[in-house]
Amino acid sequence: DVKVTQSSRYLVKRTGEKVFLECVQDMDHENMFWYRQDPGLGLRLIYFSYDVKMKEKGDIPEGYSVSREKKERFSLILESASTNQTSMYLCASSYQGGAFFGQGTRLTVV
């Protein structure tokens, strides 16, 4: 079975902290994605990566950066967390038959 693992289910961070969300996939997929999900707004793409060290901005990249040093790992970085970044964050990896998602990280910024 394909596995996409996010490092934390729940996180609470303080405003201004630097936050790392980690995602690891075990299927050698080239494409990996970070989404955030908010009530009434659906899934919004933050960043995606189509290869090691390659990244593209999604719909809402402001306040975020990403790192893809190894094919299996895609990290989302909040440089200086703010309360409006409180959300559910979903990582996915994909091939043409579909994307597989991690279990999600619910981040609360206080």
Partner 1 sequence: GEDVEQSLFLSVREGDSSVINCTYTDSSSTYLYWYKQEPGAGLQLLTYIFSNMDMKQDQRLTVLLNKKDKHLSLRIADTQTGDSAIYFCAETGAGNMLTFGGGTRLMVKP
CA distance 50 to 59: 16
- Residue 67 Cβ vs partner 1, minimum distance, rounded to whole Å: 19
- Residue 20 Cβ vs partner 1, minimum distance, rounded to whole Å: 19
- Residue 23 Cβ vs partner 1, minimum distance, rounded to whole Å: 11
Q: How far is CA 90 from CA 31, 33, 104, in A?
A: 14, 8, 5
Task: Give the interface with partner 1 as residue ranges (CB under 8 A).
Answer: 4, 31, 33, 35, 41-43, 45, 48, 50, 90, 92, 94, 96-104
Q: Which residues have a Cβ under 8 Å from the Cβ of 11 and sit 6 or more positions away? A: 19, 21, 105, 106, 107, 108
Of the pair 9, 18, the CB lying nearest partner 1 is at 9
